[in-house]
Structure 1
Amino acid sequence: MSEIQLKNISRHELEQCLKCSICTVYCPVSAVEPKYPGPKHSGPDLMRYRIKDAAFFNENLKMCLNCKRCEVACPNDVKVGDIIQEARIKYSTHTPSLRDRMLANTDFVGTMATMVAPVVNFSLGLKPAKTVLHTVMGIDKHRTFPSYSRQKFETWFKKEAEEQQKQFTRFVSYFHGCYVNYNYPQLGKDLVKIMNACNYGVHLLEKEKCCGVALIANGLSAQAKRQGTVNLKSMRRSIENRDEAIITTSSTCTFTMRDEYKHLLELDNADVRDSLMLATRFLHTLITAGKIRLAFKKDYRKKVAYHSACHMERLGWIVYSTELMRMVPGLDLIMLESQCCGIAGTYGFKKENYERSQQIGATLFDHINEVDPDCVSTDCETCKWQIEMSTKYKVINPISLIAEALDVEETRRLNTVHEADKPHIQGDLAMP
């Protein structure tokens, strides 16, 4: 066995697999799809054979959601999901179709769509358009598409950038991602509102590309690596400029750049990884350290059901979002049972996956209906699309809920202190 192969086994802790099959018990695909062999067999078991002979690769691995629940459940920290995804990257002979490329190239499609957003949004809701997408492209006709914004977040922010620089002396960099840029700029505006109230300015990265998660899932890992290289270069520039953190509002973007860049794309991100975090983690850390304070509207009332997105489970960061929401006196937070919603990014848009995707999420949808909240909250935008399509409830990111409940003037007053009284905290935020 070659040195490269041995390194590959060690990197994913393949040899630590106990064959206990607990990963299969927690696999949402195995629960509804008899044809899927399960994560243990698809991952550690067959990887031992694939290393010797690529013929042992099976295209059924494309059924994997890459939800990482197998890794959360594993008692021995085997990167089961990464083993499966790496096998798809290295051994699959499938050529990405036009559909796969369109679903994966979110920057290109988003840029085009926002130019004629009203037309695109109207067209995608028409039955004839859905029929064409279903029969020609293989995008299921039952799937509801997220709306595109008329104005990109980056366009809005350009008008704000000069004021940010004038008013503040402490900054964070914001990786906004495709969802905020093309579909829902309001989430980015909400983050800027909160950070400004806390006496922090916001920078955008010098150059930002899609995190690459959709590219990896659709067999375009080389392009994902190129885009990841651009993102890492921009993050390093932010750190050099002494921005205190690189914050995000998407759990999947965060997870991809922190972990999959290293494990799947072989991009060295060690120098930026600890500075990259969800905005809820950044805010929670500052609050618990006594660095900032938040004030909320006295008349704010809302019953919120929180959905634990799969990649939030893998990051182990659910506590930051939920504890931050619990700080709002008028917010009644209900934790939904932790389970996959089934969409897995572009997975649930594909005709061959749609029924399976809905079966996976069915219990979650039933639970939400039983709770009957004012809204659902989650840190993942594609979970939002799945839940909003499959239930009658609106889904709101925790950051937007905090912004909605925030007493901006009082928060600004509480955080208006001299810069010298607020020590640099980047070291406090580093995590192992």
Structure 2
Amino acid sequence: MAALSKSSLDGSFEKCIKCTVCTVYCPVAKANPNYPGPKQSGPDGERVRRKDPALFDDYLKLCTNCKRCEIACPSGVNIGDIIAQAKLTNTEGGWKNSGAISPKRVRDYILSSTDLMGGMVANPLAKIVNKVVALKPIKVVMEKTIGVSAQRTFPKYAEQSFVSWYKKQEATQNQFERQVHYFHGCSVNYNMPELGHALVEVLNKMNIGVQIAKKAKCCGVPLVANGFKDKAMKNATANIEVYKDELERQPGTIIATSSSCSYMLSDEYDHVLGLDNEPFKKNLQFFSRYLINEFDAGNMPKLKPLNLTLAYHTPCHLERSGGVIYTLELLSRIPGINLIRLDPNCCGIAGTYGFKEENYETSQKIGSPVFKQIEESGCDYVITDCETCRWQVEMSTTKEVLHPIELLARALA
């Protein structure tokens, strides 16, 4: 019982007043008539499930865990946490009454096993895999066999992982008197190491070195989303121990550049997995908040004007954590920027959610207002702090997407 969600077990779901505001704000409920909404899936469903866990319903897997229901809730009910915990409690080994492991469960495992897949592919096989999974016949086969949408564009694997690149920089980083710890996450390590390169470049310009924990695991976001409780617990426990040791060796701040990784480490290890995440809770800062604090303390690198029109897309988890204000402030410090803040709508991909054949149409329908506004904005680039949002926007629009730290690195004088 120690690993069960406080949100579902302490009776906080009873604070729900059945106002249905959460359902009004739910992007899935708007796009998919088969989803009854977060009120029924969360607090209402929890009342039933507490009487009989067998009453778990498969429609819970339609939830994207975007947390917009929690932002909207006037009673402070952690609705997304309740749904996530219900999925974890009832889906290990397959959805209810699934019997033998289904092809789609194999797909869920592959999509969730980011360290396993990235470690197999990054560097030695990246070029080959990138070409193969882009072939239409291969996409069709994957959709017919395991249910990965043939219409989805896959993110490319890097030919050199961020950890491999960092090993060559480690001696240089150790020379700085001030240090931070960087939780780089899977997407930076295996798909977008250039994002990590940019962070190191910016911090080095500020006379700050970067340390990484080479034994850190995937934060667990895709594992929780797909109901792999045991593996999620294993990864989270390992990360907590790793960073406990890292902070004893080198006290300092832990920085994350992924909004979903940051939210998972700081909140969901506790709220959803029921673990003591104190090493993250008290030491973790999202990169933009850390940089703004440094800038305000007088440690700001010299920046050149970029003369660009940018459209900023708000990641759902960053909005839930209240961190958007720091990224917007960071962007405002770059000279020559004309910033358009897009309406804060979900883009629809929700990590692995939008890769699934049964969710693809809903995913794109959710994101359609975002895509339309981007195309009409006249922007040079779209900016967002979330890697999966980046994949979704680049696939669904004509615009290139940058992370704020990459933009800041371009502005270094």
TM-score greater than 0.5 by the shorter chain? yes
Distance 1:272 1:217 in 2: 21
Query: Structure 1 8/182 Cα, relative in aligned 2: closer, same or farther at 3 Å?
Result: closer
* Counterpart for residue 159 of structure 1: 168
Alignment of 1:27-426 (within 5 A): 27-92=26-91, 94=95, 97-114=105-122, 115-166=124-175, 168-288=176-296, 290-298=297-305, 300-407=306-413
Deviation at 1:14, TM superposition (A): 1.0
Residue 422 of structure 1 is matched in structure 2 by none
Query: d(CA) in 1 for partners of 2:236 and 2:53?
Result: 27
In structure 2, C-alpha distance between the alignment counterparts of 1:17 and 1:37, rounded to whole Å: 16
Counterparts in 2 of 1:164 and 1:18: CA distance versus 1, 3 Å: same
Residue type matched to 2:140 in 1? T
SS at match of 2:34: coil
Deviations along 1:12-53, one digit per CA (max 9) or x if unpaired, are 721211111110010000001111110011110121111011
Alpha-carbon distance between aligned partners in 1 of 2:70 and 2:355, rounded to the nearest angstrom: 25
Amino acid at match of 1:51: R
| Aligned-pair CA distance for 1:5 | 9.5
What is the DSSP-based 3-state SS (H/G/I as helix, E as strand, rest coil) of the residue aligned with 1:29? helix
SS in 2 for 1:97: helix
**Residues 362-399 of structure 1: CA deviation (Å, up to 9, x unaligned):** 11100101102101011100000000000000110001
Q: Name the counterpart of 2:98.
A: none
Runs of 4+ aligned residues of structure 1 deviating over 3 Å after TM superposition are 2-12
Q: Distance in 2 between matches of 1:188 and 1:399?
A: 9
Structure 2 CA distance for aligned equivalents of residues 18 and 219 of structure 1:
28
TM-fit CA distance, 1:274: 2.2
The alpha-carbon deviation at position 294 of structure 1 amounts to 2.6
Moved more, 395-404 or 241-250: 241-250
On the 8 A contact 1:12/1:82 being kept in 2, the answer is no
Q: How far is 1:239 from its partner?
A: 2.1
**1:134 is aligned with what amino acid?**
E
Q: Hey, what's the Cα distance between the residues in 2 that align with 1:313 and 1:19?
A: 24
Question: Secondary structure of the equivalent of 2:339?
Answer: strand
Instruction: Supply the RMSD in Å over aligned alpha carbons.
Output: 1.8
Secondary structure at 2:51 match in 1: coil
Deviation string 1:179-221 (CA, Å, 9 cap, x unpaired) is: 1111111000000001100010000015211111111111212
Deviation at 1:292, TM superposition (A): 1.0
Task: Quote how far apart the aligned CAs of 1:66 are.
Answer: 0.4
Corresponding position of 1:411: none
Change (3 A) 1:261 1:12: farther
Structure 2 counterpart of 1:19? 18
Distance 1:350 1:229 in 2: 28
The residue matched to 2:372 in structure 1 has which SS? helix
How far, CA to CA, are the matches of 2:135 and 2:11 in structure 1? 45
Q: Secondary structure at the match of 1:376?
A: strand
Change over 3 Å in CA distance of 1:172–1:132 after alignment to 2: same
- Please list the CA deviations of residues 131-165 of structure 1 after superposition, one character each: whole Å capped at 9, or x if unmatched: 11111121000000011111011011000001111
Structure 1: distance between partners of 2:353 and 2:248: 37
**Structure 1: distance between partners of 2:280 and 2:312:** 29
> One-letter code of the match for 1:109?
M
214-223 or 332-341, larger mean C-alpha shift:
214-223
Residues matched between the structures, number: 403
3-state SS in 1 of match to 2:230: helix
> Is contact 1:212-1:227 (8 Å) kept?
yes
Q: In 1, distance between residues paired with 2:118 and 2:407?
A: 25
Q: 1:191 to 1:35 in 2, by over 3 A?
A: same
* Aligned-partner Cα distance in 2 for 1:169–1:325: 27
User: Residues of 1 paired with 2:354 and 2:152: CA distance?
Assistant: 8
Amino acid at match of 1:144: T
How far is the alpha carbon of 1:271 from its aligned partner? 3.8
1-side partners of 2:332 and 2:254: how far apart? 24
For residue 119 of structure 1, what is the amino acid of its counterpart? I
Cα distance between partner residues in 2 of 1:263 and 1:224: 13
Q: d(CA) in 1 for partners of 2:293 and 2:116?
A: 36
Q: What TM-score do you get using the length of structure 2 for normalisation? A: 0.94
* Residues 12, 83 of structure 1: 8 Å contact kept: no
- Give, in whole Å, the separation in 1 of the partners of 2:193 and 2:272: 30
Report the Cα offset of residue 238 of structure 1: 2.6
Contact 1:170 1:243 in 2 (8 A): no
Does the aligned pair in 2 maintain the 1:306–1:376 contact within 8 Å? yes
Question: How many angstroms apart in 1 are the aligned matches of 2:6 and 2:206?
Answer: 45
Shift of 1:311: 0.3
